[in-house]
A and B are shown apart, each in its own frame.
Chain A
Amino acid sequence: MNPTRVILIGGGLAGLMAAIRVAELGHAVDLFSVVPVRRSHSVCAQGGINAAKNLKGEGDSTWQHFDDTVYGGDFLQNQPLVKGMCEAAPGIIDLLDRMGVTFNRTPEGLLDFRRFGGTLYHRTAFAGATTGQQLLYALDEQVRRFEAEGKIRKLEGWMFVSAVLDDAGVCRGVTAVSLRSGEVRAFPADAIIVATGGIGSIFRQSTNSVACTGSAQSALFQQGVNYANAEMIQVHPTAIPGEDKCRLISESVRGEGGRVWVPKTPGDTRDPRAIPDAERFYFLEEWYPKYGNLVPRDVATRAIHKVVFEEGLGIDGKAMVYLDVTHLPREMLTRKLGGVLEIYEKFVGLDPRDHPMKVFPAQHYTMGGVWVDNENQATNVPGIYAAGECEYQYHGANRLGANSLLSCIYGGMLAGPAAVRYAQNLAKGSDTVSSDVYERERKRQEDIYEKLRGQEGSENPITIWKEMGETMTQHVTVIRYNKDLEAADAKLAELQERYKRINLADRARWGNQSLHFTRELGNMLVLARLITQCAALRNESRGAHYKPDFPERDDENWLRTTRAEYDNGSFKIHLDPVDTSLITPRKRSYKS
């Protein structure tokens, strides 16, 4: 065995899991992250993680989990790996349990499970309502152990800038910039794994964390890595609208019995608690009697849009509905949902145990992402692997709740060993690559930074970011019309022009956050355009992608992955067949 070095970009669940796997195999890991890994976005996950352990005597099975996932995704996934993930899930929960995750327990001391959207089974393991935090900590602690043993080196506060590709187009490492000193440096590796998470920042006010910009994915895309199903963006039905971000109120709240309603009378100004049951419209329960409040997110989000914008029933005439837990026992609420109810309490100032919460949909997740193959998380560029929310493999046109933490860990488990295998089989390791290759790319990136730092103009990066977010949220989320998508793309093109005239108020090298943000913003604009153009292209409705002018799913023409290739500023979009060899696509309806 030749010792190899693998670079991991991102220390969320996917990145940490992959890092552990590589270290376990005895290879060196350099782990890059913009934030200390323990502060990665995965901490935000509230509700839980799915695994068909069938501990509630319901007859659940991994096949049922697989079927729910594919059905929930409106059949856009390549199925084999999704099946693999569902089969691995019970073992993954056991592993996390052994790592000390403080999962909630039954009186017998076993793991407790709750319900989530898009399934009729209790399949979601949870640690209060801060499951992502607990999972991330468990992996972070294992990584710290390897770090103490010298097997993993962390480069926190270093932002990935680009891949280093040799003359044959093989990835030989990365360039990264120190957020502190501003230094741009090249780092050699035999393989890299990208695990940079979501892209919420493109929509500005989303449920994601600040670091979820998609900049790394976009940079790689511009270097030749394909990007798939970009148009598949999940909008979560229940978030607290906010100036700086939209704070999620997890689906687990409905999983534990929370109900969504609006007053039957438009503009009813009474205190919600004074409105009798008969005068409330529990629209999800009425429209979807079988799944009720636990329909998948795309369905719930469209229902809220309908009730608010078509039927004019939003609270006080505003874009808002009630999410109500006031009928549930307080002790249970605190024990199982404390973490999320606390968020409402802290940021709105009312206790949801007494007051129905006011919520509205917000951008939440990207099903689309870096294209990877159907075997082991490899992208189309030799030496580049991807795992976690940044890649497209597992969720099709709509992700089921509590399946993401699972896909992150599963993807990380596959990517780590795959990258090592690849590196072991390389005829020539990165140590044989000429230093010119690294210096060339480093210099290219440094020049871009220097140019930006010195640039004159009248534009401000935050203003451009806000306009991009507004455009995307308005036209490229829940309901999509081709003419709006065209207008949105034109607007984004205009923003790209204005981007060239950005004037940074800060010209320092040390700790210059605007500089790094602006670099990311340029990449975000590219990804925003890709999302918009792919959305314009797909003339059907499937999962989260809904076009009133094309209201039906169209398998004949659109049971296809949109795989985009970057071509000198424009995008070539290929339509690839989807592997539906295990479950034949059937009509998707949650009504009965």
Chain B
Amino acid sequence: MAEGKTIVVKIKRQASPTEPARWEEFSVRWRPNMNVIACLIDIAENPVTRYGKPTTPVSYEANCLEEVCGACAVVINGRSRQACSALVDHLDQPIRIEPMSSFPIVRDLVVDRSKMFEDAKRLRCWVPIDGTYDIGPGPRIAPERQQVAYALSRCIFCGNCLEVCPKVNEHSDFVGAALINQVRLFNMHPTGAMHAHERLQAVRGIGGIQECDNAQNCVKACPKGIPLTESNNDVNRQALLDAIFGWMFR
């Protein structure tokens, strides 16, 4: 592609949850190695549509811009993904950008993903420690086990796995793959495992693991390559065993 070229971007706009959505088209100057975020910054500098109509800058979430904070998840050309790592040269044009639809809309591309953090609370996704004073090292962990846990712990709470899940919608409370994976992570930790029952009980509750119908879209949508289906199966098995034999340990 040559300098001087422009890119066409179509963005779904919505001024607030109560206002109707509409599409706007922009034309942005192409530069090498551009990502979708660079397009949005350009639009903020010159908020005029492709047809010369003045408009407002697009609201969007972003922070790290290197796919580790999880903020900038949007749907680009029909695929739910992080905007920072969506490189313009790899996208068909016009580039269609819209907010994720599984979460309540705030404005333009901003949605409210607080449900994920609330679920993390409900599922007790932490290692309960006695306190932050210095009481010596943690448990020893085999390197192989660390490698498995590390892969699970890279979840950035972007919500892409929820966006693509057929079971996540306004009629269900399904917690989704990201949170089930967290249950597996904390149940794996030697201290976390002491409280596995609480998490399994919660994950069997409303919107829990039984809602998963194994469509396996989640694992394909995960930008961090987390083995989400494997986590689902593992937690399912744990939950089943806990339901049958759990009483023996209480």
Residues of A within 8 A of B (CB): 17, 20-21, 24, 35-36, 38-41, 43-44, 88, 91, 94-95, 97-100, 102-111, 127-128, 130, 133-134, 137-138, 141-142, 144-145, 147-148, 156, 180, 209-211, 242-245, 247-248, 335, 339, 343, 346-349, 413, 460, 462-463, 466, 505-506, 508, 510-514
A95 & B132 in contact (Cβ 8 Å cutoff)? yes
Can you report 22 residue pairs joining A to B where beta carbons are below 8 Å apart? Answer: A24-B131, A39-B71, A40-B69, A41-B63, A95-B134, A100-B192, A104-B143, A104-B146, A128-B150, A128-B154, A142-B126, A144-B120, A145-B124, A210-B65, A243-B34, A243-B35, A245-B66, A247-B65, A347-B35, A347-B66, A505-B47, A513-B60
Q: Given the interface contacts A43-B69, A104-B143, A245-B65, does A462 sit within 8 Å of B129 by beta carbon?
A: no
B196 an interface residue at 8 Å Cβ cutoff? no
Stretch at the interface among B38-46, B207-215, B232-240: B38-46
Interface size, B (range): 35 or more
CA distance A43 to B72 in the complex (A): 14
A510 & B15 in contact (Cβ 8 Å cutoff)? yes
Which of A109, A209, A514 is in CB contact (< 8 Å) with B64?
A: A209
B62 an interface residue at 8 Å Cβ cutoff? yes
Residues of A within 8 A of B110 (CB): 511
Q: Given the interface contacts A100-B186, A134-B153, A147-B121, does A43 sit within 8 Å of B64 by beta carbon?
A: yes
CB distance from B39 to the nearest CB of A (A): 9
Residues of B within 8 A of A245 (CB): 65-66
Interface string of B97-116 (1 = CB under 8 A from A): 00000000011101001100
Residues of A within 8 A of B127 (CB): 98-100, 138, 141
Query: Which residues of B from 147 to 189 have beta carbons under 8 Å from A?
Result: 147, 149-150, 153-154, 156-157, 186, 189
CB distance from A434 to the nearest CB of B (A): 35
Residues of A within 8 A of B20 (CB): none
In this complex, the member of A40, A98, A100 whose beta carbon has the largest number of chain B beta carbons within 10 angstroms is: A100
A35 & B38 in contact (Cβ 8 Å cutoff)? no
B153 & A39 in contact (Cβ 8 Å cutoff)? no
Residues of B within 8 A of A41 (CB): 63-64, 69
B56 & A508 in contact (Cβ 8 Å cutoff)? yes
Q: Given the interface contacts A44-B66, A506-B57, does A347 sit within 8 Å of B138 by beta carbon?
A: no
B6 an interface residue at 8 Å Cβ cutoff? no
For the A-B complex with A88-B134, A245-B65, A343-B67 known, give 17 more contacts whose Cβ atoms are closer than 8 Å. Answer: A39-B69, A41-B69, A44-B69, A98-B137, A98-B138, A99-B129, A100-B127, A105-B142, A105-B146, A144-B126, A148-B124, A243-B34, A245-B66, A346-B67, A505-B54, A510-B16, A513-B60
B141 an interface residue at 8 Å Cβ cutoff? yes
A347 & B87 in contact (Cβ 8 Å cutoff)? yes
Q: Given the interface contacts A24-B132, A102-B149, A105-B143, does A243 sit within 8 Å of B33 by beta carbon?
A: yes
B125 an interface residue at 8 Å Cβ cutoff? yes
Which of B60, B68, B128, B140 is in CB contact (< 8 Å) with A130?
A: B68
B56 & A142 in contact (Cβ 8 Å cutoff)? no
Which of B65, B131, B134, B150 is in CB contact (< 8 Å) with A244?
A: B65
B31 an interface residue at 8 Å Cβ cutoff? yes
A106 & B143 in contact (Cβ 8 Å cutoff)? yes
In this complex, the member of B16, B69, B114, B117 whose beta carbon has the largest number of chain A beta carbons within 10 angstroms is: B69
CB distance from B83 to the nearest CB of A (A): 10
Residues of A within 8 A of B113 (CB): 36
CB distance from A109 to the nearest CB of B (A): 3
Residues of A within 8 A of B143 (CB): 104-107, 109
B41 & A244 in contact (Cβ 8 Å cutoff)? yes
Which of B69, B147, B191 is in CB contact (< 8 Å) with A209?
A: B69
